[in-house]
A and B are shown apart, each in its own frame.
Chain A
Amino acid sequence: MTFINYASREINCKIVYYGPGLCGKTTNLQYIYDSTAPQAKGKLISLATETDRTLFFDFMPLELGTVRGFKTRFHLYTVPGQVYYDASRKLILKGVDGVVFVADSQDERMDANIESLYNLEENLSSQGYDLKQLPYVLQLNKRDLPNVTPLEELTEELGRKGEPIFEAVATNGTGVFDTLKAVAKQVLTELRKG
């Protein structure tokens, strides 16, 4: 839920990166963190297991600049992708303003993508949201690997509503900011609609 403070002239929005285990959600945040000027970001908090799998969430606040004198701050979260962390995923979706679904383009992860996307739709609707009405972007990650499913096939299988789709290689930053911009823009546009 967007939070607007007239006293400090701030707009705060929440964006959640969703997707199957190891698809590259944390890597997206890490890249954004590493390539943002210190004054525009806060700490990157990772609640992770010993083996760097997300346990609860990653979190990072990012300031994009001002709109009409209001600082716009985006709170970026990732969910844990592993199937058995579903309770945590539900919690993190609370109050969400926009979602990025990070798909793993590798052939053998197609089923995991489908399952995770279905899980997203379920968890959203259990909280009264509808994916179709929410600012939403699809990122097809790991395009650098040899065994990837063709773009058309992924779009066909995972596309939901003509959402913006970006090919990405999160490890080197390809498509990472395009994805973020696309979802942030939708969130702000939504705010304008009222």
Chain B
Amino acid sequence: MVKEMIVIENLVHKYRTPQSGEFAALKGVSLQIAKGEFVVVIGHNGSGKSTLAKHLNALLLPHSGRVLVNGIDTREKERMWEIRQQVGMVFQNPDNQLIATTVEEDVAFGPENLGIPPVEIRRRVDEAMNSVGMSQYKTKAPHLLSGGQKQRVAIAGIVAMRPQVLVLDEPTAMLDPVGRAEVMETVFRLNREEGLTVVHITHFMEEAAHAHRVIVMEEGQIVMEGSPREIFAQVDRLKELRLDVPAMTELSATLRKEGVKISPDILTVEEMVVALCP
């Protein structure tokens, strides 16, 4: 058993475009993610987050450096499908990743591709829909669901493949606050209860507050790394990187400037309440 679920060593990725020739979107990224870890990746638009995510399940391959998933090098062509089964991916636009005309058929799509026997598919589909709380929508058409529900179906479609890692590339970017909360609750529960390793890309800083580790990217490199507290305490550095901090952290920084004695690493409303009214 490998303890490190994902090992990235000095990863370089270059895009070739007809207009501007070669462009390095990742410039030597090294990162290790442990089994069961919940990692949040933040960074300004174009900093290379999606490119990094696509390397985790061999949708893109390294130009140099390497990516190991559960010990398998993503460049091993014969094991590509094994890697994709182990690393499930949820994308930003809920509409463009649901394939079938009913919810349960969509959840079944991955297992069907893996060639799993029908009886077992049935069991996995029911389990997966249960674990994202979408059981009662089994026979609904995807276009009749809300954004948050669609993303939960997309997550169920991944869960039904029994992966080790769940990579989410800004899954909440197109959702309203209710949908966002639904999705985050689901993801956190899968991490906590099923031990799924999660790599969550987002630009909502609140979603990073409960992560085990936060990675900050800028111009194809990792520029900050640490616990949410360590990262968000550095308000000025984040502002430099054109990133926000959670609203409560921002408030505590403002209060400190005004002379209120308050801890600099407050992340949530609850913590703020406790800090102000001990």
Query: Do A and B interact with each other, yes or no?
Result: no
| Chain A residues packing against B (C-beta within 8 Å) | none
| B contacts, CB < 8 Å to A | none
